[in-house]
Amino acid sequence: MRKDLYSAGEKKKGTRSPQSTVTMYIQNKLAAGIVLLNIALFSYVYYYAQEQKGYAPVIAQTSIQPSKMKNTDDLHNVTANTRKVGIKIYNIDVQQRASVGPSDFWRPELNLSSLPPSLYKRGKLVFDSLPKTYLPGYKSACWKLKGALKCWPYFYLLGMPKCGTTDLWSKITMHPDVRNTVKEPHWWTRARLSTGNLAGYASRSNKMVQQFKLHPSMKSRLIIGDGSASTFWDNHSWDRWDGKRYEGPKYVTADVINAAQPDAKLIVILRNPVDRLYSAYLYFNRKNKVSVDRFHKAIVEVIDRFNTCLQTMSFRGCTYSMERIQNKFPSPTRPYVGLYAVYVRDWFRVYPRDQLKIMTLEDWHVNCTGLLPEVFDFLNLEKKSGKTIAQFCEKKLQNGNKFRLHAIGDMLPKTRKLLEDFYEGPNKELSLLLGDDKYLWRT
């Protein structure tokens, strides 16, 4: 009787028996365990599916910044020490696919609202005109701009000048799925910062868009490119946003393009920087204004200015500042354009390694039939027969520069020695970044 009264009294107060409390505790733990198990299972399935499609998230690698570098040896040592201790430089060793081909039209959602303020200011004109996602079903990144369909270039032939970009461009555009346009609008590095005419730049895709209307199935095939040889290196207006910084620009063109087109295909063709510089000198200056003595004098002056800059700025900072310095002290030559390692490092900082196809003019000259199919494959273009590739490669070399070289001869031996010493450190850095000694360009 007392037991019953006790039980009734406890129930009346809203308490439970010990057995009931234990049971509820076990049930709650089981429910929580089932929920966690389901979450884990869902995460595994989702990640596995993403991985199979080639765009699983990649754990960010440690970023090594070239801080406080006052000479090319410091630039080289950053990468050498990084490799020695086994720390991966951000994005260089990451194999992350960004495949956008006939059977795969996935592309990442744009994350423009969370861009750092200083980066947003650099590309405000672009970022304010873009959607969160590009239109599905197109091989290119296409969207509606004021009601009209526009498409970004599917690929960028970034540079460098006098490294064979015109010849490579002419052969890429021989593929029937690549629509030829003006090769070098120089929009991202120059026109964008002056006229800011995004609609005009995007109109380069108009003819391709018209073909989409006539033949909708071509949306999955046709592409255009941008072959501006300044895109890779020219950031002359960086101090407009950053002021004077020891390290140079906080963000470069690579950051702006990456925010707008994180899955862009990027092609770079390089050349022995000494030969590239002399070729550029002969090409961009009037015939009656070039001579080996004038070239040597110009090189001495520019390298002296670079060394003076190194007293107050890092190697990277001076590389990006020389274009502005040269506007004050005009010179017929630009040795800093050949400091490839600085530019490669910045593009690797924001783009996965497998989104850049890097090659040399020296290899291109002797192996067009081997490299051109690789370029087509990199761009997810339809394969062509060996006979067709040979026909493409037999096309006359575009934009050659031998006539002036024959007229005045090679540079002076002392000039070549001076330039080889100037480029030795950056070439070592480049060979480490790309994992190939051919970028040392030893003679």
The secondary structure of 134-200 as a DSSP string is PPTT-SS-EEEETTEEEE--SEEEEE-TTSSHHHHHHHHTTSTTB----S---IIIIIHHHT--HHH
Per cent of the chain over pLDDT 70 is: 74
Q: Which residue has the higher pLDDT, 23 or 340?
A: 340
Residue 269 sits at φ, ψ, to 5 deg, of -120, 125
* Band of pLDDT at residue 25, cut at 50, 70 and 90: low
Q: Regarding beta strands 142-145 and 148-151, do their DSSP bridges make them parallel or antiparallel, or are they unpaired?
A: antiparallel
- What's residue 6's pLDDT? 34
Indicate if the pLDDT at residue 13 is higher than 50. Answer: no
- For the entire predicted model, the pTM comes to 0.78
What is the token pair recorded at 435? 């994992």
Name which of 50, 135, 148 is nearest 99 in CA terms.
Answer: 50
Separation of alpha carbons 12 and 211, rounded Å: 80
For residue 72, is pLDDT > 70? no
Residue bearing the bigger pLDDT, 82 or 432: 432
Q: Domain 68-440: give its CATH code.
A: 3.40.50.300
Quick count: other Cβ atoms within 10 Å of Cβ 402? 10
With a cut of 80, say whether residue 94 has pLDDT above it: no
DSSP annotation string for 93-119: S-------BTTB---PPP-GGGS-HHH
Q: Is the pLDDT of residue 99 over 50?
A: no
Read off the pLDDT band of 189 (50, 70, 90).
very high
Integer angstrom CA distances of residue 425 from 93, 96, 301, 340, 433: 22, 29, 20, 11, 13
Average pLDDT over residues 134-149: 94
Contact 306, 395 (CB under 8 A): no
Please report, for the chain, the start and end positions of each structural domain, with discontinuous segments joined by +: 2-52, 68-440
Q: 437 pLDDT exceeds 70?
A: yes
Element (H, E) at 225: strand 225-226
Average pLDDT (23-33) is 62
Model confidence at 43: pLDDT above 60: no
pLDDT at res. 393: 96
Cα dihedral 317, 320, 324, 329, rounded to 10, equals 80
Look at residue 317 and tell me whether its pLDDT is greater than 70: yes
Say what the pLDDT of residue 379 is: 97
Report helix, strand or coil for 266: strand
Residue 355 tokens, joined:
């989104």
Distance CA 63, CA 316 (A): 16
